[in-house]
Structure 1
């Protein structure tokens, strides 16, 4: 039973890392597209707030 619990948390952690990597990739694409710092801050903040809501 403990093995199952550990597997669930490791799998969840990998998902979280992947999600943050996607956000970082999106941020880099915004920079490459020439978006301003305040726009990037706003977009990323909205995404993070939505994730916390979920």
Structure 2
């Protein structure tokens, strides 16, 4: 086999191993869903005693 064929097979093996490790260690599919964004009418996230720019 030529050097190019060996390098190509090695590269494919490394990429496959990385893909298996990434997908095996990733818990995106088993994690609970992300809660919905609270929306524009959500309460202000800071305490009320901080002066606002409009005051």
Q: How does the TM-score come out when normalised to structure 2?
A: 0.46
Higher relative contact order (CA 8 A, sep 6+): 1
Q: Report which of the two has the higher share of helix.
A: 1
Larger Rg: 2
